[in-house]
């Protein structure tokens, strides 16, 4: 079952250039097995519940994860995502429900007999062993010949660029180096499934970004299935082929990063992933190809170019992303839906973009972001505090959610 290990994962420059391409959803059907009805899931989580005493950590979760995916479980701390991951690893047994990996039921199988490796949030490196011994540990348990262990450890250390530090102990390494040792240790056994618990949590921003792309690279080269737990939506967005948003032990929505961001199915997801303007309202026009939602707080109506399945006069919410709102001094047109005037109350200059908080005539604040396309020098006529502005958006921008 020896899979030849690749020696190079890409030079550092390469991995950074691929930023845009990597985060995009690939339309190739082979890379989106969840759209294929006949595809057999690699991990099958069926109605799994886990109770700790009175507390329900994971509540009736069903989930299919396919071979070669990077699946991110995203949620706030305490939402049950880590418990779900630990059940996959075998550290916890489900109270009810069934987990199977590659067709085999995992019930009662201890962690040391599962075809799964895990990268721990704390890295859990063995402090009394060198980097090499840490990486070799898993192979030694399989009783492999010494020569093979040496070769595979060396190849793995080269993959994570730690060849020079093989003789060091964990306490002599930086945070980023430790993280790479942990990754090497969990990958060296060539698991079919790698579980990562907040893999980038302890790294600073620059290093995180770099490591994210490195992780994706390694995953693509080795063809391992990743299940990643994170509370960081940015991390989930960059890494994931699909994201499962969790809250209070339940999976709220599963989808590609762009599905989750552009088509949230609930207030919770819209609010949790990215920032959003949420308006409560009710349907005044309900057609298959469009709806109109009257929102008292907006002081007008949203015209949305997609249908909604909701009973008439039911309360719905409209989610509008701040970057999808145009802001300008001139009126966008002769009145109607999807436009509103307001006064700029707050401006936050973030360098690449600026955030405006605009107060509507109803008193409600609306958050708008605009990329700083032009340099804001003295000659630039920038929008400023207390200025009257018009806000408008396209009919495709708002999303109507019913819960």
Partner 1 sequence: MRPVVAGRWAVISLPYLWLLLFFLVPFVIVFKISLSDIRLGMPPYQPMLQWVEAQMVSIQINLGNYAFLFEDPLYRNAYLHSLSTAAVSTFLCLLIGYPMAYGIARTDKSWRNLLLMLVMLPFWTSFLLRVYAWIGILKNNGLINNLLMGMGLIDQPIVMLQTDFAVYIGIVYSYLPFMVLPLYATLEKQDITLLEAAADLGCHPVRAFLAITLPLSMPGVVAGSLLVFIPAVGEFVIPALLGGPDTLMIGKVLWNEFFQNRDWPVASAVAIAMLLLLVVPIMLFQLAQGRQAGGHP
Q: Binding residues for partner 1, per CB under 8 A?
A: 89-91, 110-113, 116-118, 120, 122, 124-128, 137-138, 141-142, 169, 171-172, 185-186, 189
For residue 124, the minimal CB distance to partner 1 (Å) is 4
Q: Which is nearest to 356 in space by CA: 322, 308, 381, 395?
A: 322
Residues 74 and 18: beta-carbon distance below 8 Å: no
Nearest approach in angstroms of CB 58 to partner 1 is: 18
How far apart CA 76 and CA 247 sit, in angstroms, is 7
Name the minimum Å distance from CB 183 to partner 1: 13
In angstroms, the CA 234 to CA 373 distance is 23
- Distance CA(1)–CA(235), nearest Å, equals 32
380, 353, 377, 382: which is closest to 367 by C-alpha? 353
Q: Which pair of structure tokens corresponds to residue 269?
A: 């997801």
Task: CB nearer to partner 1: give 124 or 347.
Answer: 124
- Residue 164: HSE in the Cβ half-sphere, 13 Å Cα cutoff: 3
Q: Shortest approach of partner 1 to residue 18 CB, angstroms?
A: 30
Nearest to 210 by CA among 20, 70, 19, 68: 19
Minimum CB distance to partner 1, residue 57 (Å):
17
Instruction: Locate 267 and state its tokens.
Output: 């207030």
DSSP-derived pairing of the beta strands 70-74 and 55-65: unpaired
Element (H, E) at 184: helix 175-187
Cβ proximity to partner 1: between 127 and 371 the closer is: 127
Given the complex with partner 1, which of 88 and 310 has the nearer CB atom?
A: 88
Residue with Cβ nearer partner 1 (22 or 124): 124
Instruction: In angstroms, give the least distance from the CB of 88 to partner 1.
Output: 11
Q: Quick one: 26 or 113, whose CB is closer to partner 1?
A: 113
Residue 387's alpha-carbon distances to 300, 326, 337, 343, 357, in angstroms, are 21, 15, 22, 5, 11
Shortest Cβ 174–partner 1 spacing (Å) = 13
State the Cα–Cα distance between residues 306 and 322, nearest whole angstrom. Answer: 19
Query: Which CB, 133 or 341, lies closer to partner 1?
Result: 133
- Residue in 261, 281, 280 with CA at minimum distance from that of residue 271: 261
| Nearer CB in complex with partner 1: 141/403 | 141
Nearer to partner 1, 180 or 189 (CB): 189
Name the residue nearer to partner 1 (CB basis): 150 or 306. Answer: 150
Do the Cβ atoms of 332 and 392 come closer than 8 Å? yes
Smallest gap from Cβ 97 to partner 1, in A, equals 22
> First-to-last CA distance in the chain?
48
Give me the least distance between CB of 12 and partner 1, in Å please.
Answer: 28
């Amino acid at each position: 079952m020896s899979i030849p290990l690749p020696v190079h994962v890409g030079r550092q420059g390469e991995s950074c250039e691929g930023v845009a391409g990597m985060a995009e959803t690939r339309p190739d059907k082979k890379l989106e097995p969840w759209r294929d009805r006949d595809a057999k899931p690699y991990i099958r989580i069926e109605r799994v519940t886990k109770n700790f005493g009175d507390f329900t950590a994971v509540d009736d979760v069903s989930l299919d994860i396919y071979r070669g995916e990077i699946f991110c479980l995203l949620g706030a701390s305490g939402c049950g995502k880590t418990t779900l991951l630990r059940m996959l690893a075998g550290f916890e047994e489900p109270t009810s429900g069934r987990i199977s990996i590659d067709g085999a039921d995992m019930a009662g199988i201890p962690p040391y007999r599962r075809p799964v490796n895990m990268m721990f949030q704390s890295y859990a490196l063995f402090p009394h062993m060198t980097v090499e011994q840490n990486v070799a540990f898993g192979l030694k348990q399989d009783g492999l010949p010494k020569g093979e262990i040496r070769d595979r450890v060396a190849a793995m250390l080269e993959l994570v660029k730690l060849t020079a530090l093989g003789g060091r102990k964990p306490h002599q390494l930086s945070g980023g180096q430790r993280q790479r040792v942990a990754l090497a240790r969990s990958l060296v056994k060539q698991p079919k499934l790698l579980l990562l618990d907040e893999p980038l949590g302890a790294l600073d921003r620059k290093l995180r970004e770099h490591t994210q792309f490195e992780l994706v690279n390694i995953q693509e080269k080795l063809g391992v299935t990743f299940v990643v737990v994170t509370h960081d939506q940015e991390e989930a967005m960059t890494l994931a082929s699909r994201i499962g948003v969790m809250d209070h032990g339940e999976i709220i929505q599963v989808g590609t990063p762009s599905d989750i961001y552009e088509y949230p199915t609930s207030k919770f997801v819209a609010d949790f992933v990215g920032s959003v303007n949420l308006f409560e309202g009710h349907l005044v026009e309900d057609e298959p190809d469009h709806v109109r939602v009257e929102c008292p707080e907006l002081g007008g109506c949203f015209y949305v170019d997609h249908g909604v399945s909701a009973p008439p006069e039911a309360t719905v919410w409209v989610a509008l992303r701040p970057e999808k709102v145009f802001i300008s001094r001139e009126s966008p047109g002769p009145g109607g839906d999807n436009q509103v005037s307001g006064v700029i109350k707050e401006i936050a200059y973030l360098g690449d973009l600026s955030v405006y908080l605009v107060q509507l005539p109803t008193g409600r604040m609306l958050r708008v972001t605009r990329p700083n396309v032009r340099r804001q020098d003295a000659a630039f006529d920038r929008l400023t505090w207390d200025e009257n502005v018009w806000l408008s958006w396209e009919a495709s921008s708002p999303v109507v959610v019913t819960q």
